[in-house]
Amino acid sequence: MLYSSCSPATLARDLDVMRSYRPVRAQVLDMFPQTAHLEVLLLLQRALG
């Protein structure tokens, strides 16, 4: 699953809720280079077990 977030707080909250998925890879995207705003694109994989 791909998850896109613009807020570290909601990313952490959602990852805590989606415990059946584990992060595989993340990419920070600077969509607005003149600001402090960042996007995070996260590849999640269903955890086995």
Q: 42 in helix, strand or coil? A: strand
pLDDT of amino acid 48: 82
Instruction: Select from 11, 49, 10 the least CA-distant residue to 27.
Output: 11
At 8, phi and psi to the nearest 5?
-60, -35
pLDDT for 1-49, tens place per residue?
A: 999 999 888 999 999 999 999 999 999 999 889 998 899 999 999 998 6
Report the C-alpha gap between 3 and 11 in whole angstroms: 9
Which of 1, 4, 6, 7 is labelled catalytic? 6
* Beta-bridge partners for 42: 3, 26
Alpha helices in the chain (DSSP H): 8-17
pLDDT for 25-35, tens place per residue?
A: 999 999 889 99
6 included as an active-site residue: yes
